[in-house]
Structure 1
Amino acid sequence: MGGVAEAADGVPGVDVSNWTGDVDWGSVASGGAKFAFVQATEGTNYRNPRFDAQYGGAAGAGLIRGAYHFAQPHESDGAAQADYFLQNGGNWISDGQTLPGVLDIEDNPYKDKNGKNNCYDLSTEDMVTWIKDFTKKYHEATGRRAIIYTTTSWWQTCTGNSAAFKSNPLWLARWGDDPGELPKSWKRHTFWQSAEKGTLAGGQNSFNGSESQLKELANPPAEVTVSGAARNRKTYTVTVSNTGPHPVKDVKVSGRAFGGQRVVKAPGCKFSGTAVLCQVGELTRGQKATFTITTKPSRSKGTVGLNITVGSVKLTLKAR
């Protein structure tokens, strides 16, 4: 269900493009802005000629910055445009000052030139697929969820008000005194563009949170996902995946068999009696490690299994 966001002061910021021209970033920072979004690319053949100066200038003035891509969904698929964005300024780096990249997808501004409607002549199903392809490619490359910039009316019309993008932060465009109704995928906005221009250079924006939360969005903690399966009464698998943006080190997987069984085999792990301990020295972004644990039940019936602990995550694998 869509929600209604409440207006809040938030943390101020700006967005700029080639059309903004040269920016006095010192003035932007002294005026209270804490972040800036800079257009990097459009389609697969345009790169903002002022991008390097604007992006570097924002960082030099101490602002947290992020790059955005203006989508042209009728020209090429989402993955191709994500690639172009990543190669031309949109790649996320772990420097504590870089926000996840933005997919700017909104009304077609070139209707007179390309002859397409506001949805670029894509069906709602094809548009959702296009956005999924872009955001999937970006996540695979960076470990970050791309921010989506859009309007509620465009989202409702051109995606059928899709609810498929809950994990992507929302940058809502709505000029006025409050953000208003949100698209169906989101219960809250992360950024809000409230005006095309104002006291600061470029578009006027706010972050829906504290400055410390803004910094955490630029530099989130490591993220590990744990999954497992009981393949039968004797064989269990546990997979540890690095699904975040940072490498993780010294991951410990500890397990204990229950139901009257003991561990008899666990390649790459130490085990004794009912206990097993597996360790991973390092998992780079996107890497995973799978362990297979074999047990010997003392009885042929009844519930058996493994209790697995990885950090604060606890997982119970059962078999009958």
Structure 2
Amino acid sequence: MLLLAGYTGLAPEAPAAAPNDETKETTTSKTFTPATAIKGIDVSRWQKHVDWALVSEAEVAFAFVKATQGDFRQDPFFSRNWEETKRHGIKRGAYHFYKPEAPVQCQIELFTNSVVLEAGDLPPVLDVEVSDPKVSPTQLRAGIKTWLEAVTAHYGVRPIIYTSQNYYRRYLQGHFNDYHFWIARYSTVQPEVHPTDSWMFWQHTDRGKITGINTAVDVNYFVGDIETLGQLCIPDMVAQETQTSPLNRLKHMYPLP
């Protein structure tokens, strides 16, 4: 995912207060080490044509694939990546790149009309990493909440929120207790979250080297074992209830420039 370092477009705002006015971040206790962690990647058009057969042999257990951005763009490599990850036995998830200035309902419709989740797929992800000077922190969070609730209703599972450590600290900590976070922190120090929040994925580098991908790629750790990762995936009953006609998705297939 593209992190715009140093740019947020909004002035920093104090985090929401937790019970007893506790606002201190704490490092959530995780029982894993990089050497034993479940490894995954996330890809978009920047990785172009990925050789998923080779990726599947590189101890990559899961992959998040960029599906949509804003209110009218589908990643041109989404369909191929979505099908190939499944074909090669890699647990897959789809993410939407959120644009605060774009109409939220249009962003919801773009994603839900583009992504059909099946049994075994990971929950949808909302990628929140940019802001707009015309959108206040309160409005930003309201739009995020609207997207999350609508997508939860559509798929029957709560999405995961992706963001950077700094963005999380400024705008999100303590405000989305019902959702798991996926934190980008390019450091040897694991993510830190508010006591009321939890994280499950750590994007620890954007310069990973994976066989089958000719460019640098984001590499992630999952907190938990392979069985826990499977339990996070979409169950059969939910998947059957969220099928969408492919014809309904075609109208949104506008490629990125």
* Amino acid in structure 1 at the alignment position of 2:126: L
Q: Residue 180 in 1 paired to residue 203 in 2?
A: no
Please say which structure displays the higher CA radius of gyration.
1
Report the CA distance between 1:183 and its aligned residue: 4.8
Match of residue 52 from structure 1: 79
Q: Structure 1 residues 246 and 198 mapped into 2: Cα distance closer, same or farther (>3 Å)? A: closer
Match of residue 110 from structure 2: 84
Q: Residue 210 in 1 paired to residue 217 in 2?
A: no
Distance 2:182 2:147 in 1: 16
Deviations 1:227-278 (A, max 9, x none): xxxxxxxxxxxxxxxxxx378xxxxxxxxxxxxxxxxxxxxxxxxxxxxxxx
Asked if the contact 1:14–1:204 (Cα under 8 Å) also holds between the matched residues in 2, the reply is: yes
Identity of aligned residues (%): 28
Q: Structure 1 residues 176 and 8 mapped into 2: Cα distance closer, same or farther (>3 Å)? A: same
Asked if the contact 2:100–2:130 (Cα under 8 Å) also holds between the matched residues in 1, the reply is: no
Which runs of structure 2 are paired with 1:197-236 in the superposition (5 Å)? 197-200=207-210, 201=213, 202-220=217-235
For 1:75, what is the secondary structure of its paired residue?
Answer: coil
Distance 1:50 1:180 in 2: 30
Length, aligned pairs only:
210
Unmatched 5+ residue regions in structure 2? 1-22, 243-257
Asked if the contact 2:183–2:191 (Cα under 8 Å) also holds between the matched residues in 1, the reply is: no
Deviations 1:111-137 (A, max 9, x none): xxxxx44xxx32121111111100000
Which runs of structure 2 are paired with 1:143-162 in the superposition (5 Å)? 143-159=156-172, 161=173
Asked if the contact 1:38–1:55 (Cα under 8 Å) also holds between the matched residues in 2, the reply is: yes
**Which segment drifts farther, 45-54 or 6-15?**
6-15
Asked if the contact 1:83–1:137 (Cα under 8 Å) also holds between the matched residues in 2, the reply is: no
Asked if the contact 2:127–2:163 (Cα under 8 Å) also holds between the matched residues in 1, the reply is: yes
Which runs of structure 2 are paired with 1:19-34 in the superposition (5 Å)? 19-34=46-61
More helix by share: 2
Q: Residue 192 in 1 paired to residue 208 in 2?
A: no
Report the CA distance between 1:27 and its aligned residue: 1.5
More strand by share: 1
Match of residue 101 from structure 1: 124
Normalised TM-score (structure 2): 0.75
For 1:86, what is the secondary structure of its paired residue?
Answer: helix
Report the CA distance between 1:107 and its aligned residue: 3.0
Which runs of structure 2 are paired with 1:301-312 in the superposition (5 Å)? none
TM superposition outliers: structure 1 runs of 4+ over 3 Å: 219-222
Distance 2:26 2:92 in 1: 28
Q: Structure 1 residues 220 and 3 mapped into 2: Cα distance closer, same or farther (>3 Å)? A: farther
Distance 1:183 1:208 in 2: 17
Q: Structure 1 residues 206 and 122 mapped into 2: Cα distance closer, same or farther (>3 Å)? A: same
Q: Structure 1 residues 52 and 246 mapped into 2: Cα distance closer, same or farther (>3 Å)? A: closer
Asked if the contact 2:200–2:223 (Cα under 8 Å) also holds between the matched residues in 1, the reply is: yes
Report the CA distance between 1:164 and its aligned residue: 3.1
Distance 1:29 1:58 in 2: 8
Report the CA distance between 1:208 and its aligned residue: 0.5
Asked if the contact 1:8–1:208 (Cα under 8 Å) also holds between the matched residues in 2, the reply is: no
Match of residue 92 from structure 2: 65
Match of residue 175 from structure 2: 164
Distance 2:189 2:89 in 1: 28
* Amino acid in structure 2 at the alignment position of 1:219: I
Distance 2:69 2:194 in 1: 23
Asked if the contact 1:150–1:172 (Cα under 8 Å) also holds between the matched residues in 2, the reply is: yes
Distance 1:76 1:156 in 2: 25
Bigger RCO (CA 8 Å, 6+ sep): 2
Q: Residue 130 in 1 paired to residue 156 in 2?
A: no
